[in-house]
Amino acid sequence: MKNKKPLKIGVVGCGYWGPNLIRNFRQQNNCVMQICCDQDEDRLKRMKELYPEVETTKDYHELVEAGIDAVALATPVSTHYPLGMEFLKAGKHVFIEKPITRSSEEGLALIRQAKENNRILMVGHTFEYTAAVNKIKSIIDSGELGDIIYISSTRVNLGLLQNDINVIWDLAPHDISIISYLLEKNPVSVNAQGRSHYGKEHEEVAMTTMNYDNGTIAFLHTSWLDPNKIRKMVFVGSKKMLVYDDISPNEKIKIFDKGIEKPDYYDNFGEFQFSYRYGDIYIPKIDEYEALGAECGHFLDSINNNTTPRSDGWSGLRVVKIIEAANKSLRLQGLSVPVEYENEAR
Amino acid sequence: MKNKKPLKIGVVGCGYWGPNLIRNFRQQNNCVMQICCDQDEDRLKRMKELYPEVETTKDYHELVEAGIDAVALATPVSTHYPLGMEFLKAGKHVFIEKPITRSSEEGLALIRQAKENNRILMVGHTFEYTAAVNKIKSIIDSGELGDIIYISSTRVNLGLLQNDINVIWDLAPHDISIISYLLEKNPVSVNAQGRSHYGKEHEEVAMTTMNYDNGTIAFLHTSWLDPNKIRKMVFVGSKKMLVYDDISPNEKIKIFDKGIEKPDYYDNFGEFQFSYRYGDIYIPKIDEYEALGAECGHFLDSINNNTTPRSDGWSGLRVVKIIEAANKSLRLQGLSVPVEYENEAR
Amino acid sequence: MKNKKPLKIGVVGCGYWGPNLIRNFRQQNNCVMQICCDQDEDRLKRMKELYPEVETTKDYHELVEAGIDAVALATPVSTHYPLGMEFLKAGKHVFIEKPITRSSEEGLALIRQAKENNRILMVGHTFEYTAAVNKIKSIIDSGELGDIIYISSTRVNLGLLQNDINVIWDLAPHDISIISYLLEKNPVSVNAQGRSHYGKEHEEVAMTTMNYDNGTIAFLHTSWLDPNKIRKMVFVGSKKMLVYDDISPNEKIKIFDKGIEKPDYYDNFGEFQFSYRYGDIYIPKIDEYEALGAECGHFLDSINNNTTPRSDGWSGLRVVKIIEAANKSLRLQGLSVPVEYENEAR
Amino acid sequence: MKNKKPLKIGVVGCGYWGPNLIRNFRQQNNCVMQICCDQDEDRLKRMKELYPEVETTKDYHELVEAGIDAVALATPVSTHYPLGMEFLKAGKHVFIEKPITRSSEEGLALIRQAKENNRILMVGHTFEYTAAVNKIKSIIDSGELGDIIYISSTRVNLGLLQNDINVIWDLAPHDISIISYLLEKNPVSVNAQGRSHYGKEHEEVAMTTMNYDNGTIAFLHTSWLDPNKIRKMVFVGSKKMLVYDDISPNEKIKIFDKGIEKPDYYDNFGEFQFSYRYGDIYIPKIDEYEALGAECGHFLDSINNNTTPRSDGWSGLRVVKIIEAANKSLRLQGLSVPVEYENEAR
C-alpha cells in the first residue's frame, strides 16, 4: 500500500498492558517493534525471552537515541505528562494509554506541544477500535434506535485496585470515551458519589451521572469490589433499545424492539410471569478482531498519512475534564458540577 | 393452633395486585376472605367467577357494614391515606400496599390513628417475607459477611409505567425496605438523579444513593425503560460478598469468598483471561414459598396476638421519608438531602 | 359465540396435575367445572377449599350420575385404559393426560371405542398448545429453516421419579409429540439406552434416538438425575437453525443464520476465541398464554363442533408406539427397533 | 532443578494447533524450541515473523538432521503413524496430538516401537492437564460424590468440520480421555448413532454411549452442527452431582448436594415453580493456568526423568479402541459393540 519505510516503535512500560502493545506492534505491517523500556529487569528479561529481536533498556532516554519514530507509553498515569512531553519535544509521535494525563492542564499542554512539533498525539481509548462499539456506532448513526434518551453502564469487577488513582480514573475513561464516540456529544454537567473503604483515599466504588443539554442522562457504575465481572451498557433510544455486553462471547449486541404495554389484568401468581412484554430481539453478527491491533494500526496510519487519529489529544482531554468534574462532585457530596470544553477543540 | 374465631377480611382494589391478596387470604387458616371492592364492574365480575363465595361491591363503605375485622388496600397510592384513615377510625385493622402513603405526614397520621384505636397497621413490604431475604438476613446476622460496606441494587424492567408516581416511588420501596430490614439502619442522607422522557412529569429512570453514618453506601438503580428485567442486589462485606438475584430460579443467593489479588504479569492476550481471581462460591438451598402468603399470615397473626408486625407503620414511614428525600434531591440536581426520623419510632 | 348450553366437566385425579385442569376448566367460557374425584379425602377437602362450588367424590361412578358431558383423566397411566373405556362406553367425551395408555393395544381399543360411540377422545399433549411450539411450527412451515436434518432434545431435571413408569414413559411423550406435530412425520425406527440405579426396575436416565426415512435423526435425552432442569430442543435445518429453550423467560426461541466457516489460522491462544463463527441471531416475540387453558378450550371446541382434536387418539397412539419401541430397544442393548403404524390412522 | 542440558524440540505442523505448541514450548524452562516444519510456506513465513529465532523447514527430515531430542506432531491424523514411527526409529521422543492414530493397530505398533527404542511416546490429551479436570479428579477420588453412576457429556458447536474424519474421531477423544482419567475404568461396550448430511461420508453429529461393567453409563453428544458452543459434562454420583462447564469463566465446576424430593401437592400454576428441589451448591475456586503449557512441561519432565507420561501410548490406544467400536456401532445401526483391551497395557 505504502512505499514508506517501516516506522520504528519504542514502548515504555512492560507491566500489565505494555506487553500487549509490543505483541501487537510486532504484528503490524511496515513497522519495526524496535525497543522496549522498563525499570524492572525481570520484566525486560521476560520480554527478551518472548521477543528476542526486540531491544530492551532500563533508561527511556535510549529510545530517543535508538532512532525510533514513535513511542507508546504504558506507564503509571502520573508519568504520562513528563514522558509524553519529553518525547514530543524530541520529535517523536506519541501514543499514551488512557487516561491521557492526570489533569486537564497537562493534557492541554501535550496537545499544544504536539501541534507545535507537528507530531501525532493519540490516546489509547481502545474500545473506540473494537468491532462491537463500531457496530453500535453504525446502528445509532443509521437512526434505528431513534434519539438516545438514557444510557446505563456497568463496569465492575473484583480487585485490580490501583494504588495511585481511584476507580473513576481507572475504569470510567472506557465508558466516557465510548459514549462520546457514539453520541458525538459531551455532557454539560456531572455528578458522582462513591466510597473508599480499605483505609485509602481512593474510592473503590463510584456512581457517576453525565447530564446532556438535550436531557439525555447516563449512569456509570464503576467498582473494584463486585464479585462478578460485568461490562454492560444499555442504550435506550426513542425507537429501540440496545444492550452491549462485552463479556458475552456470541451475543455482544442485542437490539430490542420497543414493546411497552400495560399487561392485562392477571388473576393469579402464575400468570404474573407473562405480564412483561417485549418485541423481537435481534443479535447482529460481529466480525471480531483484536481491537488493540486495530488501534496500533490506526496510530501507524495516522503517522504515515499525517491525519488526525480518531482518539486524538482532544478526545483524551475531554475524558480527563469529565473525570475531573466527577471527582470534584465526589468531594462535594454529589453536587452537580458543570464541565466546560476548550474553544479550540474540534 | 388458636381457638379464636376466624378473622373476616375485606380487600379494596381488584386490579393488578388485589387478586393476589384475595387468593392468599382465601388460603389462610382461620380466616374468611369475605368481601372485595372495586370501581370496575368487570373486575368484580371476574372475581366472582374465580371465587364465587366472595362478596363483591363497588362501594367500599359496604365493607364496614359487612362486619369485617380487617381490610387490605391495593389501590392507587393517593387513596391509601383517606381509605386507611376511614377504616382505622371504623375500628378495622389495616394492611396497605407499599408505599404506605404519598407523604410522610400522611404516614405519621395513620400511625397515630392506629395507635389511638389500638389497631394493627401493616404495610406490604412483601420482600421482607420472602425466603431469600430472610436467608440473607440470617447470613448477615451471623457475621459471615463482616461489615456491609457497599450495596448495589438493580431493579429495572420495561414498562409498567405508573401514571401517578415516578419510578422511585414505584420500585425503590422494595430496595429500601429490604436494606433497612437487613441492616437495621437507616440512611442519614440521600441523593438521586433521573430523567423523564415521554412528555411526563414523572421520572422513568433514576439512580438513588443512600449514605449511612458509618460510611456504608447503597446505589439503587430503578428504571421502567430497560429491555431486560433485572432484580439484583450485591452486598459487599468486609469479609465476603453476597449476590441476590431474585430472577434466578435456583441460584438466588450466591456467597463469594474474598479473593482480591493482584494478578501476575501476563504476556499475551490469552493469559489476560486468567487475571481476575475469586474464591469459592457457595449457593445455599432456599426453601421457597409464596411470600405473599407468609405476609398475609403475619398480618393475621399480628391481629390475633396483638403484636407489632415486622413491616409496621413506622417501617412504612421510614421508606416514605427516604423516598421523599430522594425526590427532593431529584429536584435539586442530585444535591445530598438529609433524612430525619421521628423520635417516637422504634 | 355459540348458543350451545354449557358443557359439564368432571375431573378424575386431584394430585399433581388434576388441580391445573380444574382451575383451567373453571376459567373456560360456556363450561361448568362440575365435579372432581380422588381417592384421597385430603385432596378433595383441599379442592373444596379452593373451589367451593365444585362437587367432590371418592367414587368415579358418581361422575356419570352427575350428568357430566365430558371427563378429564389425570390419574396414573395404568388406569387410563379402564377409566377411559368406562367413560366412553357411558357416552362421555374423554380427555386423557399423556401418555394415553400403557400399551398400543389399549390405545387402539380406546380409539375404536370412541369412534363407535362417536365421542371425542383427546390426549393431553400440552406442548402442542403452547405459544412457543406453535411459533416454531409456523417458522418450520414457512420454509425458513429449510429441511430439518437433525434434532436434539434435552429434558432433564432432578427427581420427580415415578413409581410405575420409567423416565422415557414419563418425559419423552413431550418430545415425541412436539416433534411429530412439527415434522408431520413419524420415525421408522428407534434406539434407546439407559440405566436404572436406585434398586429399581425403571430407568432414571435414557437416551432415545429416532430415525426417519429421509435421514433425519433426533436425539432425546431424558433424565431424572440431572442437577439442572433443562428443557431445550435444537432444530438444525438445511438453511437455518432454531433453539427452543422452554425455561428462558424472554428468549424461548432463537433462530441462527448459518455461518459454518473455516476460521483463518490463528497464532496464539487469545485469537482462538474468535475462531467460531455465527451469523445473525433473531429472537421473535412470543405472545404467551397458559397452554393448558388453550388445550382445555380446544377440547371443548372439538366437542361443540364435533371436530377431530389436534392431539387425538391416533396422536396419542403414535407416541405410545414409539415409546414401546424405545423400551424394546432398551431391553436389547440399544438395538434398532422398527416402528409400524396403523393403516387406518390419518 | 535439573542440571540436564536443554532439550531441543521440533514441531511438525503449523496449522491450527501447531503454533500453540510452538508458543508453549518456547516458554518452557530448559528447553529450546528449535525448528518447525510445514508444507505451506506462508505458514512458515508467519512462524518466522512471530518467532524469528525458530528455524523453519518444509522437509520434516531436516528435523532429524537438526539434532532435536523430541518432536511434537500436529498434523492430520492419517500422518500420525508414519511420522511417529519414523521419528521413533530415529531415536526421538514423540508427542502426538489426539487421536494418537487412525487405528488401534497403528497405535499398538507405535507403543511397541517406543518401548523397543526406550523413547517417550505421549499423546496430547490436553484436558488431562487442565486445572478443572484435575480438580474434578481430586473431588471424585475423595469420595465426595460417591460412586459415579451416570455421566452425560455435551461437546457441540458450529463448524470446524474435518475433511478426513467424522465428529466422533474429532471431538470424542476429549470426553473419552477425561472420563477414563477420572474413573480409571474403561467401558466394556459402546453404542453410537449419528448422521452425515452434507453429501459426505463422515458423520457431523453423533451420540455415543459407553457402558461399564458396574452399570455406569456415559452419554457423549458430539456435533459440528449445533449453533451454540457447549462443553459440558455432568457426573452423577450416588452421593452428590458435579457439573463441569468448560465455557464458564468463573463457575467451571459446580457441586450439587442431593435433594431428590417429591414436592408437596400444588394447587395452581404459580406454585408449580417451587416443586423442583435442590440442595446447596458449591463452586470451588480453580487456579487456572494454560493446560497446554502444563502438558508440554509434563512431556519434557517425562523425558528428563524417564517416567511414563500420564497420557502415554496406552492411554492413546484405549481412546482409539473405543472410537473404533463407536464407529463400528455407527455402521451397525447402534448395535452394542464390545471393546477389548490389550493384556500388556497397564
Cα gap A280→A255, rounded to integer Å: 8
Determine, yes or no, domain membership for C301.
Answer: no
Looking at the complex, report in whole angstroms how far the Cα of residue C103 sits from the nearest Cα belonging to chain B. 36
* Residues present in chain A in total: 346
| Residue B201 burial (CB count, 10 A) | 6
Cα gap B209→C124, rounded to integer Å: 52
Question: Which CATH number fits the domain that encloses residue D42?
Answer: 3.40.50.720
A112 plus A136 within the same structural domain: no
CA atoms within 13 A on the CB side of B41: 0
C107 plus C141 within the same structural domain: no
pLDDT digits (tens, 9 = 90+) for D256-286: 986 544 444 444 433 333 334 468 999 999 9
Nearest to A205 by CA among A187, A192, A223, A219: A223
pLDDT score, position D49: 85
Q: How is the beta sheet containing A70-73 ordered, strand by strand? A: A55-57, A31-37, A7-12, A70-73, A93-97, A121-124
Spatial contact of C322 and C176, defined as CB atoms under 8 Å apart = yes
pLDDT digits (tens, 9 = 90+) for A205-255: 999 999 999 999 999 999 998 988 999 999 999 889 999 999 998 899 999
| Mean pLDDT, residues B12-41 | 94
pLDDT score, position C265: 47
Which residues of chain B are within 8 Å of residue A236 when distances are taken between CB atoms?
205, 225-227
Nearest to C179 by CA among C137, C221, C142, C237: C137
Looking at the complex, report in whole angstroms how far the Cα of residue C269 sits from the nearest Cα belonging to chain B. 5
Does residue B282 belong to the interface with chain D, where contact is any CB pair within 8 Å?
yes
Q: Do D217 and C160 touch (CB under 8 A)?
A: no
pLDDT digits (tens, 9 = 90+) for B105-132: 999 999 999 999 999 999 999 999 999 9
C49 plus C139 within the same structural domain: no
Cα gap A76→A99, rounded to integer Å: 10
pLDDT digits (tens, 9 = 90+) for C282-316: 999 998 889 999 999 999 999 999 999 999 999 99
pLDDT score, position D193: 96
* Helix-strand-coil split of chain A, %, nearest 5: 35, 25, 40
Spatial contact of C195 and C260, defined as CB atoms under 8 Å apart = no
pLDDT score, position B267: 46
Longest Cα–Cα distance in chain A: 80
Name residue, grid cell 370496575.
B40
* Helix-strand-coil split of chain D, %, nearest 5: 35, 25, 40
Mean of pLDDT over chain A: 90
A147 plus A261 within the same structural domain: yes
Determine, yes or no, domain membership for D225.
Answer: yes
Q: Of C88, C107, C124, which residue is a domain's last? A: C124
Which H or E run includes C193?
A: strand C189-195
Does residue A268 belong to the interface with chain D, where contact is any CB pair within 8 Å?
yes
pLDDT score, position D264: 47
C270 plus C285 within the same structural domain: yes
Does residue C267 belong to the interface with chain B, where contact is any CB pair within 8 Å?
no
Does residue D266 belong to the interface with chain B, where contact is any CB pair within 8 Å?
no
Which residues of chain D are within 8 Å of residue C294 when distances are taken between CB atoms?
none
Determine, yes or no, domain membership for D22.
Answer: yes
Determine, yes or no, domain membership for C345.
Answer: no
Looking at the complex, report in whole angstroms how far the Cα of residue D332 sits from the nearest Cα belonging to chain B. 42
Cα gap C292→C309, rounded to integer Å: 14
B177 plus B276 within the same structural domain: yes
Does residue C288 belong to the interface with chain A, where contact is any CB pair within 8 Å?
yes
Question: Cβ contacts of residue B182 below 8 Å, gap of 6+?
Answer: B133, B136, B137, B140, B148, B235
Nearest to C152 by CA among D200, D221, D247: D221
Determine, yes or no, domain membership for B1.
Answer: no
Spatial contact of B153 and B223, defined as CB atoms under 8 Å apart = no
Q: What is the pTM of this model?
A: 0.91
Determine, yes or no, domain membership for B78.
Answer: yes
Which H or E run includes D335?
A: none
Cα gap A298→A279, rounded to integer Å: 38
Determine, yes or no, domain membership for B268.
Answer: yes
C281 plus C133 within the same structural domain: yes
| Residue C250 burial (CB count, 10 A) | 17
A95 plus A152 within the same structural domain: no
The domain of C59 spans: 7-124
Is residue C179 predicted with pLDDT exceeding 90? yes
pLDDT score, position D274: 32
Question: Which CATH number fits the domain that encloses residue D271?
Answer: 3.30.360.10
Q: Which of D257, D278, D286, D287 to mutate to test the interface with B (most CBs of B within 10 A)?
A: D278
Does residue D29 belong to the interface with chain A, where contact is any CB pair within 8 Å?
no
Spatial contact of B243 and B252, defined as CB atoms under 8 Å apart = no
pLDDT digits (tens, 9 = 90+) for C255-279: 998 654 444 444 443 333 333 446 8
pLDDT score, position C263: 45
Query: Which region among A268-282, B60-74, C28-42, D42-56 has the lowest average model confidence (pLDDT)?
Result: A268-282
Q: Of C124, C156, C189, which residue is a domain's last? A: C124
pLDDT score, position A288: 83
| Residue C138 burial (CB count, 10 A) | 10
| Mean pLDDT, residues D59-63 | 95
Does residue A229 belong to the interface with chain B, where contact is any CB pair within 8 Å?
yes
C172 plus C263 within the same structural domain: yes
> What type of residue is C246?
D
Is residue A129 predicted with pLDDT exceeding 80? yes
Spatial contact of B297 and B1, defined as CB atoms under 8 Å apart = no
Determine, yes or no, domain membership for A255.
Answer: yes
Cell numbers for B284: 445455599
C158 plus C79 within the same structural domain: no
A121 plus A151 within the same structural domain: no
Does residue D241 belong to the interface with chain C, where contact is any CB pair within 8 Å?
yes
Q: Of C101, C124, C147, which residue is a domain's last? A: C124
pLDDT > 70 in chain A, percent: 90
Does residue C264 belong to the interface with chain A, where contact is any CB pair within 8 Å?
no
C77 plus C22 within the same structural domain: yes
Contacting chains of C (3 CB pairs or more, <8 Å) are: A, B, D
Q: How far apart are the first and last CA of chain D?
A: 29
Longest Cα–Cα distance in chain B: 80
Q: How many domains, chain D?
A: 2
Band the pLDDT of A199: cuts 50, 70, 90: low
pLDDT digits (tens, 9 = 90+) for B48-78: 988 888 999 999 999 989 999 999 999 999 9
Spatial contact of A204 and A196, defined as CB atoms under 8 Å apart = yes
| Residue A188 burial (CB count, 10 A) | 15
Q: For C51, which residue in chain B has the nearest alpha carbon?
A: B51
ipTM of the complex: 0.90
| Residue D3 burial (CB count, 10 A) | 5
Which residues of chain B are within 8 Å of residue C26 when distances are taken between CB atoms?
49-50
